[in-house]
């Protein structure tokens, strides 16, 4: 039962990865006891499971995911929200108002209007129904300040880093609050726009270099250098 | 240029453009060159120049085309008015509509359509310059565009034609050979699964010649597949190399 790849090897869709007693993990599929890649990415073996970390993918909703979306439309009893998935997500009015919703009393567009950004969780989704959102937990709801940056959804784990090392480092270095939407939308809120910009530059750098190793150290270095540069500019 | 050449193969056994019977035209492939598309690819095969762009998966419009159990793959093959010597009307011709369907059916077996129900993927293929064998080059490019868009696939699809000119079975026909020659057999192929997804024939061949042509086309496919794979990997390798220079 051989495997046909080295750790972190770049593989293309259809490449034979392993044969025999292996399990097909992320972005792979099994056929005739053989495992093939189904996306372009980096192959990795975890026990008996063959995974491919995709370099190109899109967001697909999963129950419990935290996402950041844009309100598209105010409907009769709720909102339609664009969460960068192949489906439009629905947010019900009764969920936001936390009391029974009466159309004659409440004007929905005063609560959330088209164009507003929200942080929400996917409450339900299956193959037959569009995803439903919920904002009933602390930290969820309308976004009032900060800046938005978009990355490929498959790179969100890289932004988080091993056990959150990357994201907590950026938070610490820049003093910004960062909310990661699993759909690839990231909200950065800091004390001033400069801090936010710095955090965004770091995130952008992670996206560009996500498949190289030793990234956390390089990003730390980058942030420190960038901060020194800014200090110098201020003093001049 | 439009005169009919008397012989398509000279005494030495070489073709009009100097190729051997089993030789491909030079192929150049690039991936991810359009920033507004989710995935894209560009192919040059001889004088063919073709762009392919993929969008999706996204909500299907119009809504009545949505399928409850799978993703809908849509293809549009289109030739630019300047792609041939005589201006081609930009309106879709009978031939383009047919090729769109044929290309879609060649790509569909490679895509996991059942993963994303009620959605749609659009593939747009624009022929900028045509010189025979555009359907094959289009399939090769379109498959790369889908892979670049991050759509899960069983395998890349690669296509190549073989045919018969002057009683000789040849690989990868160009325009004149296609028009003056006896037969043309385009084949689309999934190299890792060893499966054919498109097989057409235009002209007359004996069963033996047909078999020879199909085998030759598959060999051609495998050569193009190596280039196709390389092109897809190059896009991501480039970033890695820049990194090394910096350090």
pLDDT digits (tens, 9 = 90+) for B80-90: 999 999 999 99
Interface touch B192/A14, C-beta < 8 Å: yes
Interface touch A29/B116, C-beta < 8 Å: no
Averaged confidence pLDDT in chain B: 92
Among the partner-chain residues A12, A31, A212, the one whose CB lies closest to the CB of B233 is A12
Nearest to B53, CA basis, from B77, B70, B79: B77
Average pLDDT (B212-222) is: 97
Residue B124 has pLDDT above 80, yes or no: yes
This prediction's pTM = 0.90
What is the pLDDT confidence band of residue B245, given thresholds at 50, 70 and 90? very low
Nearest to B150, CA basis, from A229, A154, A25: A154
Strand partners, B73: B121
Is the four-CA dihedral B94, B99, B102, B104 of positive or negative sign? negative
The CATH superfamily assigned to A66-142 is Nucleic acid-binding proteins (2.40.50.140)
- Does any CB of chain B come closer than 8 Å to the CB of residue A5? no
Residue A175 has pLDDT above 70, yes or no: yes
In angstroms, the CA A26 to CA A121 distance is 23
The nearest CA of chain A is from the CA of B24 a distance in Å of 23
Residue B94 has pLDDT above 50, yes or no: yes
Q: Where in chain A is the domain with CATH 2.40.50.140?
A: 66-142
Q: What is the pLDDT of residue A179?
A: 93
What is the pLDDT confidence band of residue A66, given thresholds at 50, 70 and 90? very high
Q: If you measure CA to CA, which chain B residue comes closest to A207?
A: B239
What is the pLDDT confidence band of residue A97, given thresholds at 50, 70 and 90? confident
Interface touch B236/A211, C-beta < 8 Å: yes
In angstroms, the CA B187 to CA B189 distance is 6
Q: What is the pLDDT of residue B174?
A: 94
Q: Where in chain A is the domain with CATH 2.40.50.100?
A: 9-54
Domains of chain B: 27-231 (3.30.230.70)
Interface touch B153/A88, C-beta < 8 Å: no
Average pLDDT (A115-119) is: 94
Among the partner-chain residues B110, B112, B119, the one whose CB lies closest to the CB of A86 is B119
Average pLDDT (B108-120) is: 95
Q: What is the pLDDT of residue A235?
A: 80
Interface touch B39/A56, C-beta < 8 Å: yes
Which of A127-131, B158-162, B205-209 is predicted least confidently? A127-131
Q: Which residues contact A232 (CB under 8 A, 6 or more apart)?
A: none
Average pLDDT (A63-90) is: 93
* Mutate: best of A9, A27, A54, A56, partner B, most B CBs <10 A: A56
More confident residue, B2 or B81: B81
Which CATH number is A9-54's, of 1.10.150.530, 3.30.1950.10, 2.60.120.280, 2.40.50.100? 2.40.50.100
| Fold type of domain A147-229 | Ribosomal Protein S8; Chain: A, domain 1 (3.30.1370)
Nearest to A222, CA basis, from A165, A161, A169: A169
Interface touch A38/B153, C-beta < 8 Å: yes
Q: If you measure CA to CA, which chain B residue comes closest to A212?
A: B240
Q: Where in chain A is the domain with CATH 3.30.1370.10?
A: 147-229
Q: What is the pLDDT of residue B239?
A: 55
Average pLDDT (A130-152) is: 91
Residue B9 has pLDDT above 60, yes or no: yes
* DSSP conformation class of B108: G
Identify the contact set of chain B against chain A, taking CB-CB distances under 8 A: 38-39, 56-59, 68-69, 110, 112, 116-119, 147-156, 190-193, 229, 232-233, 236-237, 239-240, 243
Query: Is this complex scored with an ipTM above 0.90?
Result: no
What is the pLDDT confidence band of residue A81, given thresholds at 50, 70 and 90? very high
Which of A114-118, A127-131, A214-218, B92-96 is predicted least confidently? A214-218
Residue A3 has pLDDT above 80, yes or no: yes
* Mutate: best of A12, A29, A81, partner B, most B CBs <10 A: A12
């Amino acid at each position: 039962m051989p495997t046909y790849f080295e750790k972190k090897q770049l593989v293309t869709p259809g490449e034979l990865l392993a044969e025999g007693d292996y399990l097909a993990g992320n972005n792979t599929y099994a056929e005739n006891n053989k495992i093939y890649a189904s996306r372009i990415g980096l192959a990795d073996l975890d026990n008996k499971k063959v995974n491919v970390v995709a370099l190109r993918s899109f967001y697909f909703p999963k129950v419990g995911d935290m996402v950041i979306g844009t309100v598209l439309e105010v409907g009769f009893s709720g909102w339609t929200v664009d969460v960068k998935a192949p489906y439009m997500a629905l947010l019900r009015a009764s969920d936001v108002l936390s009391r029974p919703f009466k159309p004659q009393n409440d004007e929905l567009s005063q609560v959330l209007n088209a164009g507003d950004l929200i942080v929400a969780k996917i409450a339900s989704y299956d193959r037959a129904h569009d995803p439903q959102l919920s904002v009933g937990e602390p930290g969820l709801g309308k976004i009032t300040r900060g800046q938005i940056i978009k990355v490929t959804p498959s790179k969100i784990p890289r932004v988080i880093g091993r056990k959150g090392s990357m994201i907590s480092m950026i938070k610490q270095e820049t003093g910004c609050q960062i909310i990661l939407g699993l759909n690839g939308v990231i909200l950065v809120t800091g004390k001033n726009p400069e801090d936010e910009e710095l955090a965004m530059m770091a995130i952008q750098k992670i996206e560009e270099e996500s498949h190289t190793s030793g990234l956390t150290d390089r990003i730390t270095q980058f942030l420190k250098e960038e901060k020194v540069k800014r200090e110098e500019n201020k003093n001049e | 240029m439009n005169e009919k050449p008397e012989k398509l193969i000279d005494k030495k056994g070489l073709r009009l453009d100097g190729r051997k019977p089993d030789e491909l035209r030079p192929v150049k492939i690039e991936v991810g060159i359009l920033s507004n598309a989710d995935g894209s690819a560009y192919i040059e095969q001889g004088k063919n120049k073709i762009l392919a762009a993929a969008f999706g998966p996204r909500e299907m419009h119009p809504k009545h085309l949505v399928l409850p159990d799978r993703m809908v793959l849509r293809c549009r093959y289109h030739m630019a008015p300047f792609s041939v010597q005589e201006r081609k009307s930009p309106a879709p011709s009978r031939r383009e509509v047919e090729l769109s369907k044929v290309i879609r059916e060649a790509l569909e077996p490679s895509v996991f359509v059942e993963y994303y129900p009620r959605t749609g993927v659009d593939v747009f293929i624009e022929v900028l310059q045509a010189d025979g064998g555009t359907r094959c080059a289009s399939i090769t490019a379109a498959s790369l565009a889908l892979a670049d868009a991050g759509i899960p696939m069983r395998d890349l699809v690669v296509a190549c034609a073989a045919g018969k000119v002057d009683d000789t079975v040849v690989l990868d026909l160009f325009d004149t050979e296609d028009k003056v020659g006896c037969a043309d057999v385009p084949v689309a192929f999934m190299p890792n699964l060893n499966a054919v997804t498109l097989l057409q024939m235009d002209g007359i061949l004996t069963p033996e010649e047909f078999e020879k042509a199909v085998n030759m086309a598959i060999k051609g496919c495998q050569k193009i597949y190596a280039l196709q794979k390389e092109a897809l990997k190059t896009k991501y390798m480039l970033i890695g190399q820049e990194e090394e220079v910096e350090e």
